[in-house]
Amino acid sequence: GDEEAGCDVEGTVFFEGIPTLSQYGMAIMVLLMLGVGFVGMRRFV
């Protein structure tokens, strides 16, 4: 009940807050993608 509502609110704020961050949001997303890709490459290679 309450837990689900909290998760929904958090998810909404998180996803809707990304466009607001624009520059910082994009930079963080790119860094995360590169980091995940790097780790994935090292695991498979």
Question: What pLDDT is recorded for position 15?
Answer: 61
Position 1 confidence tier, pLDDT thresholds 50, 70, 90: very low
Calpha distance 34→5 (Å, rounded): 32
| pTM summary value | 0.43
Calpha distance 26→45 (Å, rounded): 28
Output the six-digit token pair for 18.
């990304």
If you average pLDDT over residues 6-13, what whole number do you get? 57
pLDDT exceeds 60 at position 41: yes
Q: 21-31, pLDDT tens digit by residue?
A: 677 777 888 89
CB atoms closer than 10 angstroms to residue 19: 9
**Better-scored residue on pLDDT, 41 or 24:** 41
